[in-house]
Amino acid sequence: MHIVVCMKQVPRDNSVKINSDLSINADGIEKIINLFDEYAIEEGLAWNEKHSGKLTVLSMGSDEWVEQMRRALAMGATDSLLLKDASFAQLDTLAAAKVVAAAIKKLGDVDLVFCGRNSTDDESGAFAPALARALGWAQLTYVGKVLDVDPAGKKVTAERHLETVVETVTASLPAVVSVIKDINNPRYPSLLKIKKVAKIQPPVWTAADLGVSGLSAAATISSRVPPPPRPSGEIIDGPDAAAKVRKLVDKLLENQII
């Protein structure tokens, strides 16, 4: 069985700045594996261990991302693959999904793809469904528990954790599964394993290798601004906690907030 986990590198927090050309500036913020993707990696590892096959961690990005891909290798991924091309930088999520789909098709023998439910920077959650459609595969999104992966019967059964309901759904393999945070506890790679993978260079596939061209973003960014500041607040003063509490409740009632 061959499992692919899609992984994105993101800034640890979102205290980003906006450049004059409207690109995002995350300089000086530590880069990490997108949190939801860490859960996807762990889920992929667990099922790969059960079915003893191959797990490829796949990323579309720059050389800067290799360090985080090595972290996934140290966690236990058996293979890595970096999709890198100057033309990829301007793509939107739907176009990026087409590139990744081309790579997965080229790998040829993939049964199951795990993704995080969304990246913590762009936050759209569109990648996994777009990838599934580009591949022509089944999709299971917002998965909080994978109940069974059956490569022989070509089936995966999982719980989708939506806002108010839990759906139990069986999908045919191959399939794309996106996972939420609650699904597992990602392992920490040991120092020994981190050392072991420190020099691995993932193979690189370019747009030409994948035979993709003519892709573009559907929209242009016409404005990008920080959020409007919140109106300045009021500190509730008083001689003691009880007086402050009374004053706070007065304010909430006066302003018809409660």
Does the footprint of other proteins cover residue 121 (CB under 8 A)?
Answer: yes
Does the footprint of other proteins cover residue 52 (CB under 8 A)?
Answer: no
Tokens at 67, concatenated? 């360090």
Q: How many residues bind other proteins (CB under 8 A)?
A: 79
Q: Show the site string, 12-51: x = touches other proteins by CB under 8 A, - = not.
A: -xxxx-x-----x----------xx---------------
* Cβ distance to other proteins smaller for residue 126 or 197: 126
Distant-in-sequence, close-in-space partners of 173: CB < 8 Å, separation ≥ 6: 111, 112, 138, 149, 150, 151, 154, 155, 156
The candidate with the shortest Cα–Cα distance to 210, out of 106, 82, 79, 66, is 106
Instruction: Give the shortest CB-86-to-other proteins separation in angstroms.
Output: 22
Does the footprint of other proteins cover residue 63 (CB under 8 A)?
Answer: no
Which of 107, 169, 194, 197 touches other proteins by CB under 8 A? 169
- Three-state secondary structure call for residue 203: coil
| The one segment of 42-50, 105-113, 127-135, 194-202 that binds other proteins by CB under 8 A | 127-135
Which of 78, 120, 145, 194 touches other proteins by CB under 8 A? 120
Q: Per-residue DSSP letters for 75-86?
A: HT-SEEEEE--G
174-203: contacts with other proteins (CB under 8 A): 175, 180-182
Which of 94, 99, 177, 207 touches other proteins by CB under 8 A? 94
208-237: contacts with other proteins (CB under 8 A): 218-227, 230-231, 233-236
Q: Per-residue DSSP letters for 111-161?
A: -EEEEES--TTT----HHHHHHHHHT-EEEEEEEEEEEEETTTTEEEEEEE
Specify the pairing of strand 138-150 against strand 155-161: antiparallel
Single-letter amino acid, residue 248: L
The whole-angstrom separation of Cα 135 and Cα 172 is 13
Does the footprint of other proteins cover residue 154 (CB under 8 A)?
Answer: no
Instruction: Give the shortest CB-51-to-other proteins separation in angstroms.
Output: 21
| The one segment of 55-63, 102-110, 157-165, 191-199 that binds other proteins by CB under 8 A | 157-165
The whole-angstrom separation of Cα 37 and Cα 72 is 10
Which of 45, 110, 132, 207 touches other proteins by CB under 8 A? 132
73-92: contacts with other proteins (CB under 8 A): 92
Does the footprint of other proteins cover residue 167 (CB under 8 A)?
Answer: yes
* Cα dihedral 184/174/116/148 (nearest 10): -20
